[in-house]
Amino acid sequence: MEKRVVFNNRWLPYLLVAPQLLVTLVFFFWPAGQAIYQSAFIPDPFGLSTRFVGFGNFEYLFGNRYYRESFLTTAVFSVLVTVSSMSLALWLAVLADRVIKGSGAYRTLLIWPYAVAPAIAGVLWLFMFNPFTGIIAWMLGQMGYTWNHTLDGGQAMALVVAASAWKQISYNFLFFLAGLQAIPKSVIEAAAIDGASFWRRFWTIVFPLLSPTTFFLLVVNVIYAFFDTFGVIHTITKGGPEQSTTILVYKVFSDGFVGQDLGSSAAQSVVLLVLVTILTVVQFRFIERRVHY
């Protein structure tokens, strides 16, 4: 789609794109280029010179047990966040769509956690699950279950998943509710007249019609779990215990800034770059389709 009527001006358009282009070049392409360049070198121990190693950093990376485990951790983490957050949100959206009166009030009360920063969400959940003083840790203790996420990797994972999913429910809820409200009521009423029960109608008619929304949210949630949950991990577990919650984005940070392993960190950036590109292409292809629909 192109405009038929345009303005003619020799220099104005360049002036208009210049600010964004400048910021993009300086803060996107320069660093991305640096990452690709650095990923092919190893600095010597004194940081005085670097040695070209080609794909050496990548070979080292994928030969490294911790890095491969970090992939697995990221996969487990994103699946858990996506599934728990989306299913809870869908459940709430179905209920909110069902009640005719007050659905606006419920929406208001459900959307605000979107505005809470991941790092703040992390602080709130950390406080409730503090092994010594946290209220929920205490309740679990009363039930005979010892909670200490600083020692138990599984518990640490559960906690960062809960905090991350909690924050994302609002977003999913909004989109599911909009999707549900867009389904023509006549279709559902026809099934109701045929005597199908509410949940049967939901699984055979509503859920399939909702699939564009579901797929869209699936991609958005995976991207969220991959990249936006750094604050949650950093405040609650710092990747521990024993790297059990070190997702890829956290590892780039900890290897680069804490471990000062710049070659490896750069190689990891390149790997993430490829991953984001794939996710964005998937998302974009889907959105193209949605626009036609």
Partner 1 sequence: MSGMVEKRGVGTWLSHAGLILGIAVICFPIWIAFVASTVTQADLVRPPMPLLPGPHLVKNYLEALLSGGDAPVWRMLLNSLVMALGITIGKIVISILSAYAIVYFRFRFRMFFFWLIFMTLMLPVEVRIVPTYEVAANLGLLNSYTGLILPLIASATATFLFRQLFMTIPDELTEAARVDGAGPVRFFIDILLPMSRTNIAALFVILFIYGWNQYLWPLLITTDPSMNTVVMGIKQMLPTGDQTVEWPVIMATALLAMLPPVLVVFAMQRLFVKGLVESEK
Residues 110-149, interacting with partner 1 (CB under 8 A): 110-121, 123-128, 132-135, 137-139
For the residues of 9-49, what is the DSSP string, one character each?
-SSHHHHHHHHHHHHHIIIIIHHHHHHHHHTTEEE-TTSS-
Give the Cα separation of 68 and 60 in Å (integer).
11
Residues 6 or more apart whose CB falls under 8 angstroms from that of 208 comprise none
- Of residues 69 through 108, those in contact with partner 1 by CB under 8 A are 88, 91-92, 95-96, 98-100, 102, 106, 108
CB of 79 to partner 1, least distance (A): 20
Task: Return the bridge partners of 42, or none.
Answer: 51
- By CB under 8 A, tell whether 17 contacts partner 1: yes
**Which range touches partner 1 (CB under 8 A), out of 25-33, 62-70, 79-87, 149-157?**
25-33
54 close to 41: Cβ distance less than 8 angstroms: no
Candidate residues 61, 81, 86, 220; the one interacting with partner 1 per rule CB under 8 A = 220
CB of 209 to partner 1, least distance (A): 18
172 close to 86: Cβ distance less than 8 angstroms: yes
CB of 42 to partner 1, least distance (A): 15
67 versus 171: smaller Cβ distance to partner 1: 171
CB of 92 to partner 1, least distance (A): 5
210 close to 153: Cβ distance less than 8 angstroms: no
CB of 137 to partner 1, least distance (A): 8
CB of 50 to partner 1, least distance (A): 14
- By CB under 8 A, tell whether 109 contacts partner 1: yes
Q: What does the block give as tokens for 9?
A: 């001006």
Which of 123, 92, 122, 125 has its CA nearest to residue 109? 92
Check residue 2 and give left, alpha or beta (phi > 0: left; psi -120 to 50: alpha): beta
Number of residues that bind partner 1 (CB under 8 A): 98
- By CB under 8 A, tell whether 32 contacts partner 1: yes
Candidate residues 85, 235, 237, 245; the one interacting with partner 1 per rule CB under 8 A = 235
